[in-house]
Structure 1
């Protein structure tokens, strides 16, 4: 194998790796990115059964309310807790919700716990 051929193969592998990394980053932004909305929790609007990884049943909670983004735009958002964080939120807590135009709510996070 000639040195030119060896460098060409290395270059192709590096370019392929770079392209795959960029595609993964782009997909992550497309699928899981979105606008942050902030919602004050009042009470759960419903419950549903979830299964934790160790085959233990738990109760998931559904919330719905008016959420506001950083520009002051309001949107009614409904979301459910997931197995990684199934516990209910308390009245008055603020939750940051990531809302994606194509996929709806993709993430939520407690940002303010009321004492």
Structure 2
């Protein structure tokens, strides 16, 4: 049975010309295809901003149960207001710079967001 050195010896050896060609191909790689996700219901504000900046600059927040969008069982008034603030911030500006410690920084430019939410009076009153 051949050991690791035998595999290494069989590895292809690229010439300098081939390495340069590979670098050129990598440099001229086509831009990734942007696939729109137009309807959002279950999302984080950060995820929506990332998608608007990197995938498609237009989105619709739509739900027949607004509680799914605005909050959940453990979400209080402050969390709901923060989520609404994030959404308003996206809609109200031509560009929005986002900085995060855990991911690369990005800018949302020219994004358009529409919202259509339905809710019952009873569930709306319990939140507010």
Query: TM-score surpassing 0.5?
Result: no
**Structure with greater proportional helix content:** 2
Quick check: which has more Rg, 1 or 2? 2
